[in-house]
Amino acid sequence: MRIFIAGMDGYLGWPLAVYLACKGHEVAGADIFMRRKWVKERGNHSATPIRSMRDRLGAFREVFGKSIAFHVGDLRQYEFVHHVLGDFRPDAIVHLAEQPSAPYSMIDIDHAMFTQTNNLVTTLNLLYAVYDLCPDCHLVKLGTMGEYGTPNVPIPEGFFTIEYRGKTDTLPFPKQAGSWYHLSKVHDSQNIAFACRSWGLRSTDLMQGPVYGIRTEETQADERLLTRFDFGEVFGTALNRFCAQAVIGFPLTPYGKGQQKRGFINLIDSMRCIELSILNPPDRAEYRVFNQFTEIFSMVDLAQAVKEAGEKMGISVQVAHVEVDPRVEAERHLYEADHQKLLDLGLQPHRMVDALEYILRDLTKYKDRIEAKKEHILPTIYWSKEKREAAAGLRLREVALR
């Protein structure tokens, strides 16, 4: 199949391009390297030393004898989107070209505005270009489990059937996202569903949970193919952060009570889910939703699992709750979310406990790079003024950074 990856330079985009190209698909992608810029803007870097796109593409050609087409450009510019899609005429587009960090979106008005305009404009451009050029093309969009929030009822895969005042209908499940970033994905979902209804486009919206891991089977072949690995407060996600903290002897940081639960997924399974979605497209005019995660854990569960894995390897791991959760979120809540549809398509999930040792081992190689930026681990971005005030003078900061 001809697959276009919007946002090919990111944590998921690059290994996905390599994975799909190795599976025999014709892959093209675009990026303007914003993720590199945002992480640099925060003064941080990837734990893994990532190569330039030119080096990555060259290494891929050298190792696998195949090519991936790449365009440098801004997907917020409609002319650019129209040009690259017109040229390539994809069967499927994987849309990863968004600002993915909740804390980044909560820094201030500029970052909130940037996140929502960037994410919504890029999605709208893709919808219009698909409608104009290749209306049969399947848009695989990366949404987030965070779109649903944490309701006190089970979470279905996108839709639920409800009886209200004697009538029954199947409707989108309510969205109660917890950051400007997560809300950008809610708005995207509405826009995509509308385009499917009104123009007959087809789309799969993947409600993905936090992804963890570094290596995929293909990127293991050569260090130049490694994807990025963020561990700071802004772009690092919970489990990846805990692993990075463990290897430098920094106490693991569940926020608040640490009873927040999320649905996690291994990077390898994330690639496979996207492939399964592409291989099994929806009908024209269909907007469907898959919940893309494999196991649910609380932050305390994660910290305990990393502690046990570390200790098996002779690394002593401390856990020190960050007293004031910087986010406005439920610190204890129900989290019963369905995740059957991708299993029905053939996903065979990896277990988190089996991956931890590899992640810790891999990260140990980049210990110095994590150590060099450890001041970026503890949270400094607060969801509200009340949170910021409550957190002033956190004891952990002094202890951990000593």
Binding residues for ligand USQ, rule: CB under 6 A, are 100-102, 144-146, 182, 209-210, 237-238, 241, 253-255, 258, 260, 262, 299, 325, 327, 329
Question: In the bound complex, what is the minimum distance in angstroms from residue 234's beta carbon to ligand USQ?
Answer: 9
Q: Check 185, 261, 307, 373 and give the catalytic one.
A: 185
Cβ–Cβ < 8 Å for 313, 367? no
Q: What distance, in Å, lies between the first and last C-alpha atoms of the chain? A: 53
38 vs 70 by CB, closer to ligand USQ = 38
Coil, helix or strand for 170? strand
Question: In the bound complex, what is the minimum distance in angstroms from residue 330's beta carbon to ligand USQ?
Answer: 9
Question: In the bound complex, what is the minimum distance in angstroms from residue 369's beta carbon to ligand USQ?
Answer: 18
144 vs 204 by CB, closer to ligand USQ = 144
Q: Check 11, 181, 255, 335 and give the catalytic one.
A: 181
Burial of 147 (0-12, 13-18, 19+ CB in 10 A): buried
What phi, psi does 266 have (nearest 5°)? -70, 145
Q: Which residues lie across from 73 on neighbouring strands?
A: none
Question: In the bound complex, what is the minimum distance in angstroms from residue 237's beta carbon to ligand USQ?
Answer: 3
Question: In the bound complex, what is the minimum distance in angstroms from residue 252's beta carbon to ligand USQ?
Answer: 8
Looking only at the bridges linking them, the beta strands covering 167-172 and 159-164 are antiparallel
Whole-angstrom Cα distance, residue 98 to residue 101?
9
Nearest residue (beta carbon) to ligand USQ: 146
CA angle 345, 4, 228 (to 5 degrees): 85
Whole-angstrom Cα distance, residue 101 to residue 265?
17
- Which distant-in-sequence residues (6+ apart) come within 8 Å of 294 by Cβ? 263, 264, 265, 266, 269, 339, 347, 349, 350
- Which distant-in-sequence residues (6+ apart) come within 8 Å of 223 by Cβ? none
Coil, helix or strand for 240? helix
116 vs 253 by CB, closer to ligand USQ = 253
User: Is 181 part of the annotated catalytic residue set?
Assistant: yes
48 vs 291 by CB, closer to ligand USQ = 291
Cα dihedral 165→169→172→178 (10° resolution) = 20
Question: In the bound complex, what is the minimum distance in angstroms from residue 79's beta carbon to ligand USQ?
Answer: 28
User: Is 185 part of the annotated catalytic residue set?
Assistant: yes
80 vs 173 by CB, closer to ligand USQ = 173
Q: Where are the alpha helices (DSSP H) in 211-321?
A: 238-247, 267-279, 299-312
80 vs 212 by CB, closer to ligand USQ = 212
User: Is 144 part of the annotated catalytic residue set?
Assistant: yes
Active site residues: 144, 181, 185
